[in-house]
Structure 1
């Protein structure tokens, strides 16, 4: 069977790589893009071994012309695009005042303006056939705020707003869909490859899901589009605490990030892979579920949720 045409930007590692491999296993035809050629070719080889037809193109999503050329490659080779998955993202750790302005700006440019560049080209192609699904790799951090990753949080809040606007503007085309996949912590290399001015290597706060779990959600969105799909056992509870009791949340989130979001491994300041591809990584990072820390963090979060319920009940009484 001839599958759909799927473009994946950010395909060289993590969720992008896992998504490409899952689409490949279904027989979809793939156009894979990332900044690092070696890692991209390795992913393409794995997808071809699964029987998929694959085209690769080295692409930086911050380059509008390169993203347009990527879209044209898909159209020229396969006649169109059915699904575009954008998971390209970078991160920087550190207090806002400690992160160099060029690093902060580049994180926002890659994550938000890069997504806009992708959306512009995806919609240009989708409009020609009045159908297509754009899936943007979002985050739980598009709905809450945490310290030490201010550029990433800022970019993801803008990311969610952009998706909402695009849904409003494509209401005239009911077969064009704009979707968000919003995971919590995921076991990918982004934490170690991030720029870092926090003094300690970052890590995903527990509980941590495998990138394959998020990839499964991506494929479900491609099959049955809906505005957003959240991935993460604790996401709802964390969002509730953030919304229901902001003072308590803000009091606790700093200590919890220092315990759960930063490792004990010290590191000198560096710009990571923010300005260019870093060393090649495996599709999974080095972070497990760390259930002991997850239980401790979850207990505190549950306490916040319980306190919020009590406070609301008292206000209504």
Structure 2
């Protein structure tokens, strides 16, 4: 049976992955900051799983998690890291300590996980690490400076690690790259934008992203994008940056920030808190139509740019 470590397992994509792994009989190590959430998950879906409280931003905590997994099962075959936090707001409005903690969790946390996983993988000669990136690791968007900075850094880290593990053909470093996903990260985020965040359409389920992450674990490749318009948005970002920059601000305000007002707060950036789960239907058809229109505009702009380049 496959031994799988899941960091960020208490909610969202990590929780969905835990359910899928349990259903197929994997031996599980469930880790996150919320022990209560992990214990509830294990009791309902993964009896016998090792539950371990961890903050990925704390390197010592992550190393202890790796040691606990090996002590219980003798090895780690797959490590899927989905732990992440987010902060909304203009860069100058987000407190420095909040910005820094988002980086600590989403980038340094990924580095801590990778360091611990690779230590075990090197000792046993095999293993697959799956990091959860983001479309915002390929493009930029206003009001998400800390998250975008972290995810761009994580993508650079993943590629570097793939280069450095070319000498070990059975060690793999992968990234799953989702766009909008129906998870609590948006409503749990720190917020200094005045309006509660929401996943931009089209919105995928956490289960779909989890399935793709586990598929990477079974058949490793560098990256798997999850999101109908991801490639279109990336193409517009790269092909015609001025048009993209003109459109992305209005698009974010229309589809990535809800109409629900909120006072400034630090969300779950520094500590776990009760999650406010939602669903993509909550955003309504207007938001979906606006997102589709913006994606179409980016696609058209990119196509025009590509045509112009070919005509030179």
Shorter chain as normaliser: what TM range? over 0.9
Please, which runs of 5 or more residues in structure 1 have no aligned partner? none
Aligned to 1:112: 107
Aligned to 1:209: 204
The one-character-per-residue Cα deviations of 1:101-136 (angstroms, maximum 9, x if unpaired) are: 000000001000001000000000001111000000
Distance in 2 between residues matched to 1:163 and 1:307, nearest whole Å: 30
Q: TM-score, normalised by structure 1?
A: 0.95
SS at match of 1:135: strand
Distance in 2 between residues matched to 1:266 and 1:122, nearest whole Å: 41
Please, which runs of 5 or more residues in structure 2 have no aligned partner? none
Residue 301 of structure 1 deviates from its aligned partner by: 2.1
1:311 to 285, 305, 308: 305
The one-character-per-residue Cα deviations of 1:86-114 (angstroms, maximum 9, x if unpaired) are: 00000000000000000000000100000
1:124 to 90, 113, 119: 119
Distance in 2 between residues matched to 1:23 and 1:105, nearest whole Å: 33
Distance in 2 between residues matched to 1:274 and 1:303, nearest whole Å: 34
Aligned pairs for 1:82-231 (under 5 A) are 82-231=77-226
Are 1:37 and 2:31 an aligned pair? Answer: no
2:228 to 223, 233, 241: 233
Q: Please say which of residues 272-281 and 164-173 is displaced more in the overlay.
A: 272-281
CA contact (8 A) 1:47 1:54 kept: no
SS at match of 2:221: coil
Distance in 2 between residues matched to 1:311 and 1:41, nearest whole Å: 52
Distance in 1 between residues matched to 2:133 and 2:87, nearest whole Å: 16
Residue 60 of structure 1 deviates from its aligned partner by: 0.4
CA contact (8 A) 1:39 1:280 kept: no
SS at match of 1:134: strand
2:75 to 80, 83, 89: 80
Aligned to 1:23: 21
Are 1:293 and 2:308 an aligned pair? Answer: no
CA contact (8 A) 2:103 2:146 kept: yes
CA contact (8 A) 2:212 2:224 kept: yes
Q: Please say which of residues 165-174 and 288-297 is displaced more in the overlay.
A: 288-297
CA contact (8 A) 2:239 2:305 kept: no
**Superposition RMSD on alpha carbons, in Å?**
1.3
CA contact (8 A) 1:142 1:156 kept: yes
Distance in 2 between residues matched to 1:241 and 1:308, nearest whole Å: 5
Distance in 1 between residues matched to 2:271 and 2:305, nearest whole Å: 48
Give the number of aligned pairs: 310
Residue 42 of structure 1 deviates from its aligned partner by: 1.1
Residue 302 of structure 1 deviates from its aligned partner by: 1.4
CA contact (8 A) 2:184 2:275 kept: no
CA contact (8 A) 2:88 2:144 kept: yes
Distance in 2 between residues matched to 1:302 and 1:287, nearest whole Å: 20
CA contact (8 A) 1:189 1:286 kept: no
Q: Please say which of residues 38-47 and 220-229 is displaced more in the overlay.
A: 38-47
CA contact (8 A) 1:206 1:291 kept: no
1:12 to 2, 6, 10: 10
